[in-house]
C-alpha cells in the first residue's frame, strides 16, 4: 500500500513550492491538480476548455472532472511509492471519493499550511508579477480565498477526526518551513 500525504492550505501558502522539494527528498510523486488543469488549458483539451473560465475567476472545477483526472494520475508508475497531493482534495465530496479510491493508497498525513489573509494576498499578488497566472489577480484572489474558507477549510476538521492533521506555520523562510514539514515525516 502506498502513502498519500495531503498538503492543505489557502492559495499562496507555499504548498506547491514545498511539495516540489519534499517530493524529491522523500521519493514521492508530486501531484498538483492546479498544474494539471493549467496544462489542460494550455493544451486546449476538452477539460481545459471547461476549466479555463473557472480557473481565471478563481472558482473550483466540478468535482467529478477533477476526481476523474486524479484517479487516472494515481495509476502512473511514479506513484507506486506514494504521492504528495497538492491542491486536492478541495471539497468534502473530493475527500470522500479519495477515501474510496484509497484502497491501494493510504492517507498517512495531512499537513495544513497556516498563514494570515494579508500575507496570502501579498504573496499571490507578488507572484502574479512573474507567474503569468491569469488567476493571480486581485479580483480572483478574493474569490479563491472565499472558496477556500467555504469549501476547503472544512476538510481540516474532516481529517482531524481521523487524527491525521499537523498544522504548520507557513509564514517565514522557505527553508525553515521545509524543515518543519520534514519533521512531520519522521
Ligand atoms: P492551484 O494551483 O492549486 O491554486 O489551483 C488553481 C485553480 O485550479 C483553482 O483556483 C481551481 O480553479 C482549480 N483547481 C485546482 N485543484 C482543484 C480541485 N482539487 N478541485 C477543483 N478545482 C481545482
Each residue's pLDDT expressed in tens, for the chain with a length of 186 residues: 789 999 999 999 999 999 999 999 999 999 999 999 999 999 999 999 999 999 999 999 999 999 999 999 999 999 999 999 999 999 999 999 999 886 789 999 999 999 999 999 999 999 999 988 999 999 999 999 999 999 999 999 999 999 999 999 999 999 999 999 999 998
Pairing of strands 2-8, 105-114: parallel
Within 8 A by CB and 6+ apart from 168, the residues are 111, 112, 113, 114, 177, 180, 181, 184
Quote the pLDDT of residue 102: 64
- Shortest-distance atom of ligand 1 to CA 70: 19
Taken in order of first residue, the domains within the chain and their CATH numbers are 2-184 (3.40.50.300)
Q: How many CA atoms lie within 13 A of 168 on its CB side?
A: 29
* 11, 148 contact by CB (below 8 A): yes
Question: In the 8-state DSSP scheme, what is residue 102?
Answer: T
CA distance 103 to 100: 7
Q: Which residues are catalytic?
A: 15, 90, 127, 133, 144
Task: Compute, in degrees rounded to 10, the torsion defined by CA atoms 165, 6, 124, 23.
Answer: 120
Please give the number of the atom of ligand 1 that sits closest to the Cα of 58. 10
* Predicted local confidence at residue 1, as pLDDT: 79
Q: Which helix (H) or strand (E) holds 167?
A: strand 165-169
Beta-bridged to residue 166, according to DSSP, are 111
Pocket, ligand 1, Cβ cutoff 6 A: 11, 33-34, 37, 54-55, 58-61, 66, 87-88, 90, 94, 135, 144
CA distance 84 to 31: 6
Distance 27 CA to ligand 1 centre (A): 24
Amino acid at each position: 500500500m502506498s502513502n498519500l500525504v495531503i498538503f492543505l492550505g489557502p492559495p499562496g501558502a507555499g504548498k506547491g513550492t514545498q511539495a516540489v522539494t519534499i517530493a524529491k527528498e522523500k521519493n514521492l510523486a508530486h501531484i498538483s491538480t492546479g498544474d494539471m488543469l493549467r496544462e489542460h488549458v494550455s493544451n486546449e483539451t476538452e477539460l481545459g476548455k471547461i476549466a479555463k473560465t473557472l480557473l481565471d475567476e478563481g472558482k473550483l472545477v466540478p468535482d467529478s472532472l477533477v476526481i476523474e483526472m486524479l484517479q487516472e494520475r494515481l495509476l502512473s508508475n511514479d506513484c507506486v511509492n506514494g504521492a504528495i497531493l497538492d491542491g486536492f482534495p478541495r471539497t468534502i465530496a473530493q475527500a470522500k471519493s479519495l477515501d474510496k479510491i484509497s484502497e491501494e493508497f493510504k492517507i498517512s498525513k495531512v499537513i495544513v499550511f497556516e498563514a494570515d489573509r494579508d500575507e496570502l494576498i501579498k504573496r499571490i499578488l507578488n507572484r502574479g508579477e512573474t507567474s503569468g497566472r491569469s488567476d493571480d489577480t486581485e479580483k480572483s484572489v478574493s474569490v479563491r480565498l472565499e472558496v477556500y474558507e467555504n469549501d476547503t477549510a472544512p476538510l481540516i476538521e474532516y481529517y482531524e477526526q481521523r487524527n491525521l492533521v499537523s498544522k504548520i506555520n507557513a509564514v517565514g523562510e522557505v527553508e525553515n518551513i521545509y524543515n518543519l514539514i520534514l519533521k512531520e515525516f519522521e
